[in-house]
A = this chain, B = another copy of it.
Amino acid sequence: MHPLNPNPGITVGQLGEIELIRRITEWLGSVNPPSPEGIGDDCAVYQPEGGRPQLITTDPVIDGYHFDDTVPPGCVGAKLLKRNISDVAAMGGRPHRAVLSLALPATTGLEWLRDFCGGLRECALEYETLVVGGDVAQTSGPLTANLTLIGDAPSGRVLTRRGAAIGDHLLVTGELGGSLKGHHYRFSPRVKEGVWLAGLPEVRAMIDLSDGLAKDLPALLPQDGQAELDWEALPIREEVPREPGDDVADRWVHALCDGEDYELLFTLDETASVPDFLRRWQAALPTRVTLIGSIAHLPEDATEAPPIRIPPGYPQLKSLRAHEHFRTARPHRGYNIRLKQSPPNQAP
């Protein structure tokens, strides 16, 4: 009997993360306002009296889940800040203040902690963020560092996950997949890109890809929408593993499911000119951006239509598994996005 499960009933490990968050949201009731003021987007938005809109987000790194001893401590400190910055960037925001809460095993080396703080400091300098406070506690468990980040929206506009419509173009920054080859801590959160995008009225919705395209894309879709991807256009990272026996479909699974891409996925109004948008992007920003598809109507006859359509003639993708975060299986992240299986060279 676990002391925090006295009766004993269902455990959190038996629930998917999505369902767990749904329950917590329900239990919080009226103290959690509707998104984007409450739970449900990359950050929560609030408006201080007389000031511009503020964004707040919180994310931890936990030893064995988000890093291990192969990751240099400075990179762990930077990753902690960067994963939070990526959430602020996803709404068109710019970070400004962070607080840090450390739960440390007594055996943590002071040198490790010094280098962790050094990496955090260098990253904070780069992204013009102050680290203004925190807490230090001891734990009998793994090192757990939690950071809460506040940002604001320089363009005055906050981009949410809602706002996309049927017909919208889907675009993504950078490249996807292969995060375990080092990208999961070497990534650059897309702050400049996010701020620039929030300033364009034709950009309608945005999210950062932390769990992978397969899990994150559906959050951008209107209720009657389905993503039609241009599978050949997907920007797959060079480092995506090629293992003996892999077929080409495995590379797509990596691109869609590895997670920790920390790229921005956004939609562009159907009536906007994509070539014109790309020209303006290239004049303003050095980052790669790719048109990867569009939002179509859900097929009317579909009883269990998947959020991402597999076009006819493409190899089966057996199952786009949920992102299981870094290294260790997280048994409670049981959310699966299953693509409908369609035999090759045959319309679904």
In the complex, A140 has a CB within 8 A of chain B: yes
Q: Which residues, 88 to 116 on A, are CB-close (under 8 Å) to B?
A: 96-97, 99-114
How long is the Cα–Cα vector from A146 to B99 in the complex, in angstroms? Answer: 11
- Does A7 interact with chain B (Cβ within 8 Å)? yes
- In the bound complex, residues from chain B placing their C-beta under 8 Å from that of A12 are 104-106, 108-110, 113
Which A residues, 58 to 112, have Cβ-Cβ distances below 8 Å to chain B? 58-60, 62-65, 68-69, 73, 96-97, 99-112
Q: Are A109 and B11 in contact (CB under 8 A)?
A: yes
Chain B residues, CB < 8 A from A102: 24
A69→B6 contact, CB < 8 A: yes
**Interface set, chain A 18-67, CB cutoff 8 A to B:** 20-21, 23-24, 27-33, 37-39, 43-44, 46, 48-52, 54, 56-60, 62-65
Q: Which residues of chain B have C-beta atoms less than 8 A from A325's C-beta?
A: 137
Copies of this chain per assembly: 2
The answer to whether the Cβ of A132 comes within 8 Å of any Cβ in the partner chain is: yes
Please name the residue on chain B nearest to A112 by beta carbon: B4
B137 touches A69 (CB 8 A): no
On whether A69 and B4 interact (CB within 8 A), knowing A39-B134, A106-B13, the answer reads yes
Q: Which residue of B lies closest to A18 (CB)?
A: B136
Q: CA separation between A9 and B331, bound complex, in Å?
A: 35
The yes or no answer to A180 lying at the interface (CB within 8 A) is no
Q: Cβ of A28 and Cβ of B146 under 8 Å apart?
A: no
A250 at the interface (CB under 8 A from B): no
**In contact, B57 and A133 (Cβ under 8 angstroms):** yes
State whether B121 touches A27 (Cβ < 8 A).
yes
We find that the number of chain A residues with CB closer than 8 angstroms to chain B is 99
Given contacts A31-B121, A110-B23, contact A137 B62 (CB under 8 A): yes
For A20, the chain B residues whose CB sits under 8 A away are 136
Contact A27 B111 (CB under 8 A): no
Contact yes or no, B332 A109, CB < 8 A: no
Q: How far apart are the CA atoms of A5 and B54 in the complex, in Å?
A: 38
Considering only residues 315-348 of chain A, those with a C-beta below 8 Å from chain B are 325, 330-333
Residues of B contacting A223 with CB < 8 Å? Answer: none
A110 → chain B closest CB, angstroms: 4
Q: Mark contacts of A141-166 with chain B using CB atoms, 8 A cut-off: 1 yes-contact digit, 0 otherwise.
A: 11110101010100000000000000
Question: How many Å lie between the Cα of A289 and that of B106 in the bound state?
Answer: 39
CB of A179 within 8 Å of the partner chain: no
Instruction: Tell me the bound Cα distance from A21 to B131 in angstroms.
Output: 13
Most buried by B among A17, A50, A58, A68: A58
Determine whether the beta carbon of B13 is less than 8 Å from that of A107: yes
With contacts A57-B99, A148-B148, A332-B138 known, is A120 near B46, CB below 8 A?
no
| A139 within 8 Å of B (CB atoms) | yes
28 contacts between A and B (CB under 8 A): A4-B69, A4-B143, A9-B109, A11-B106, A12-B108, A12-B110, A13-B107, A21-B136, A24-B134, A38-B130, A38-B132, A43-B133, A44-B99, A56-B133, A56-B150, A58-B134, A58-B135, A59-B101, A59-B135, A60-B103, A62-B137, A62-B139, A103-B141, A104-B332, A140-B141, A141-B141, A141-B142, A148-B148
